[in-house]
Structure 1
C-alpha cells in the first residue's frame, strides 16, 4: 500500500494493511518521512517502510523574467531580499558604533562619517523599495485570486489538458523519486494507492511493471473530494492536482472510497462504468487491549467525576471543523466539561481556542488530550457522555462519513453533528443524536441540551439497531476490501489459517 504520510496517525491505512495481512496477503505499506534513511517496522503481519522524501522541485525556483515583468525592482528570490535587508542593517549598526569610537571629533573624521551616513541611508531606501516589491511579488505568486496566476493556469490547461500538472506543480516528481524505485524493486502483484498523490505514483509504477511484461493490478483508494479541498497551497497546486487525478483515475483496475456520496461523484466526474466499492472508515472492534498498555481514563485526565457531563471532540483541529462553536457556547451550558482530543496542543488554532476559553472564563472546563493508539480509541471515548462533530459547510464535509463518527457510535455515544449532508442524514435516520445548523450557536446549544437531558434515549438506539454497529466495524469493511483484491486476482484462492503467509500474492499499499 502507498500512502503520502508517515503512517502512524493514519488509522485507515493501518487497519487496511493489518486486515489484508491477516487475510493472507503479503503486505508492504510504504509511507515517507523527512529523514535520510529508510525506516522499517511491522504492523501486525504487514511490513511498513518509510522512504526519505526530499522536496526539491516543490520549492519556489528562481524566476528572473517573471520578476522583471510583474515587479521590475523585485529581487529574484525572497532569500536575496532577506540577505540584503540584513546587510544594510549590519552597515547601520557598524556606522553607529564607529560614531562612538574615540577620535571622531575631527573635521576629516566627521566628513567621512557623514558621507557613510548618506550612502547607507540611500542604500537603505533603495533596498527597502526592492524588498517591498519582492514581498509584493511573493504575495501575488501565492494569491489564490491572482489574475496572472489564473491566466497561466488556464493557458497551460488549454495547451496540455490534464497533463498540465507537470508544469503547474513539478513537486509531484519529488514523490516519484522517493517511492518509484522502492515499488519497482518489490515487484508487487497489486498496488494500492491511497489518496490522490499515490494515485499518480501507483499508476506510473503499474505502467512501468506492465511494460516489463508483469501482470500488475492497480487499486485506487479515494479519500477526498479533491475539487472541494481547501488547503493553504500555492494557486497552481489545486488545479494541478485535479488535472493529475483526471489523468490517472481511468488507469485504476478498481477504485474504493470512503462514502457513497463520494463514490457517486467519482462515477460522474471520471465517467466510471462501475461504482467504486465503499470501505467505510469504521473502527477496529475485535482487538483486545493489551494489559501492558491499559486504556487511559478520560475523566481522570480531565479531573472530573462521573456525575459531571462530559462532551468529547476527537480529530484534527482547524477552523473549518467548527471547534469555535464549542468554546463560544460553553458559558450557556453550565457544568458541561469538554475534552478536545487533538494532534497538537501547540497549534496556533488550538492556542487561540484556549485563549478564547480564558476570556470567557470557561478554561477550567476545557481539557486538551493527546491521541491514543487506534485500538484504544473506542474504549477511551466511552468515558464521555456524547460526541461532537461541528463541521462547517464545505464540499468535502458534505460527503464525509468521518472515522470519529463511527468511533463515537461504537463507544455508544450520542452524537451532536452539524447539518453537513452525509452525516446529518444518517443521524436523522437512526436517531442516535441531534443535528444543528452549522455555525449557529443557538441551534448548537439546543442540540446539546436535548442530548444532555435524555442520554438514555439516544443510547438506546444502539440496542434497538444492533445491525448498525455490526455494519460499522472494520472487520465488515475489511471483507469488502479483500473482495476487491480477490476479484482482481481470481486465481488466488482464500488461504487457510495455517497458510496465510504464503497463500496470496503481495499487495503494496
Structure 2
C-alpha cells in the first residue's frame, strides 16, 4: 500500500494573495510530493479556500480581541475620573444628545413657544456640555494610553519586562494571542508532520503546535522562515511597547525551531549570532519564478495606465508603507515633464496611498500618477517589463540596509534599470553590476537626477543584464530545491 504523503502546514499572518514568497514555497513543496496546506489570515473575517498549484490555501478568520491591552479595557478612575468607561457608552451619550437636539428642533418647527421650550433647552444644554466634557476627557485618555508615554505607562512597561523577561509580550502586546487562538486549533486538526512558520509573529503559533503534538506523542518539525531582521524593522504599530513585545516573543520561541530559513546570507549570519543558532540558516532568496509557462497580464501595465509605448514610465511595486518612500515618485514629477509613475501596491485603499494621491493633485501631476493593484505572481515580471525603470526608494532602516528585497529581483528579471536609494546592500550591488543608479534616500533632487540619467540613456543600463547581472543564479527553481532538500533532511525521503 502506498505511503500517505507527509503533510506540511505553512503559516503566514497575511491574506496570502499579495505574498509571492509563501505562494511559491507552497507550490514547490506540493510539486516535491508533500501534501501542503497554507494557512493565512482572512481579510474579510470569513473562511476562504482555494488552490495554488498543488497546494491548498485556507484563510482563517482572526478575531482581533487583544488589539487593546488589558489596561485599555479598564476605566481610568485615577488618571481621568471624568472619562467614560471603555465601551459604547461615550458614543451612546453623544447620539442621545443629538437625538434630544433633533426633538427640540422638531418641537420648535411645530409651533412650540420659546417660553414653553426653555426648560427643555436648558436641560439639553447642560447635558450637551456635561457629555462633551466627558467625551473630551475620554478622547484624551485614549490618546494618552495609545501613546503609552506617561510615567505610569513607562513604569508599567519596565515592571513587566523585569518581572516576565521575554514572556512580557503577553502584557505588552497580547494581540499575538489572537493569532494563536485562531490558527492553533486549525493546525492541531490538520495534524502536520512539519510546520513552516513564516515571519516572527507566526513563530509562536508554530512552536506551540509542535509542543502540543509532542505531548500527544507525535513528532512535528518546525521550520522558521525569517523574512526580516526584527531589531532593524520599523514598528508595524505606532505604540512604544510593540517592538519590545515582538522581540521577546521571537526570543522565547526561536529555540523551538528545528531549522531556520531566511532571505539573504547577511541576515542568516545575523540570525545565527542573535539567537545562538546551532547551524547557519538556509538561504532561500525571494526571486521570481521564471520556470513553467509564462503568463502575460491582460491588460498590461501601460494599458492600465492609459499610456502608449513612447511615454516614459517609472514603476514602484510593493507594499505601500511610508518607510518604503514611494511618495518620492510623486514629489519628483513636476521636475520630470512627461514622465508617468505607476504605483503597483498591495493595498491601494491605505491612507498613505490616498495621501500620496492627494499630494499629486496638489502638485498638478495627478494625471501622471497611476495607482494599480497587484497581479498574480507569475505575471509580475512581464507586467513590470513594460516600464522604463523600476524604483526602490526605501529609507534608512536597519532591516533595509541588509536586504535584497523581492522587487529588486523582479525588476532585474524584467530587465529594466533600477533606481535605488543608498541603502547598503542593494546600492553596492547596483554599483557593481551597473544595472541602475543610486540616489540619496529621501532626497527628491538627487532622485530626480538619477531618473533623468536612466531615461537619457536606458540601454547603457539594460546591457548590464547581458554582461554582469547573474540572472541565472536568481531563479526560483534553484531556491526551491534548497527548501525541499531541507524538508527531506528533517522528514526523511
- The answer, yes or no, to whether TM exceeds 0.5 is yes
Find 1:262's aligned residue among 262, 267, 278: 267
Comparing 145-154 and 196-205, the one that deviates more? 145-154
2:443 aligns to what?
440
Matches of 2:399 and 2:218, distance apart in 1:
37
Structure 1 residue 417 corresponds to structure 2 residue 420: yes
Matches of 1:61 and 1:463, distance apart in 2:
58
Displacement after TM superposition at 1:98 (Å): 3.0
1:111-167 Cα offsets, whole Å, 9 max, x none, are x63333322222222211111111011001111534432321111111011111122
Aligned counterparts, 1:72-151, within 5 A: 72-77=81-86, 79-102=88-111, 104=113, 110=115, 113-143=117-147, 145-151=149-155
Displacement after TM superposition at 1:31 (Å): 1.3
Matches of 1:257 and 1:12, distance apart in 2:
11
Displacement after TM superposition at 1:97 (Å): 3.0
Displacement after TM superposition at 1:200 (Å): 0.4
Contact 1:470–1:476 (8 Å) recurs in 2: no
Structure 1 residue 452 corresponds to structure 2 residue 461: no
Name the CA shift for 1:382/1:74 in 2 (closer, same or farther; >3 Å).
Answer: same
Displacement after TM superposition at 1:322 (Å): 1.4
Matches of 2:50 and 2:141, distance apart in 1:
45
Matches of 2:360 and 2:44, distance apart in 1:
38
Find 1:384's aligned residue among 382, 387, 390: 387
Find 1:218's aligned residue among 219, 222, 226: 222
1:499 aligns to what?
none
Structure 1 gaps, min length 5: 493-509
Tell me, what secondary structure is at the counterpart of 1:469?
coil
Structure 2 gaps, min length 5: 1-9
Tell me, what secondary structure is at the counterpart of 2:77?
helix
Matches of 2:326 and 2:74, distance apart in 1:
45
Matches of 2:342 and 2:126, distance apart in 1:
57
1:476 aligns to what?
478
Displacement after TM superposition at 1:344 (Å): 4.2
Higher RCO (C-alpha under 8 Å, 6+ residues apart): 1
Tell me, what secondary structure is at the counterpart of 2:459?
helix
Comparing 47-56 and 197-206, the one that deviates more? 47-56
- Between structure 1 and structure 2, the one with the greater Rg is 1
Name the CA shift for 1:251/1:346 in 2 (closer, same or farther; >3 Å).
Answer: closer
Displacement after TM superposition at 1:76 (Å): 1.0
2:316 aligns to what?
313
Contact 2:289–2:475 (8 Å) recurs in 1: yes
Matches of 1:366 and 1:34, distance apart in 2:
27
Displacement after TM superposition at 1:74 (Å): 0.8
Displacement after TM superposition at 1:61 (Å): 5.8
Name the CA shift for 1:465/1:64 in 2 (closer, same or farther; >3 Å).
Answer: closer
Structure 1 residue 243 corresponds to structure 2 residue 248: yes
Matches of 1:145 and 1:473, distance apart in 2:
47
Matches of 2:123 and 2:361, distance apart in 1:
51
Matches of 2:229 and 2:150, distance apart in 1:
24
Matches of 1:84 and 1:31, distance apart in 2:
39
Tell me, what secondary structure is at the counterpart of 1:139?
helix
- Alignment RMSD, CA only? 2.2
Find 2:37's aligned residue among 28, 35, 44: 28
Instruction: State the number of aligned residues.
Output: 483
Tell me, what secondary structure is at the counterpart of 2:184?
helix
State TM-score, norm by structure 1. 0.89
Matches of 2:310 and 2:174, distance apart in 1:
56
Comparing 339-348 and 138-147, the one that deviates more? 339-348
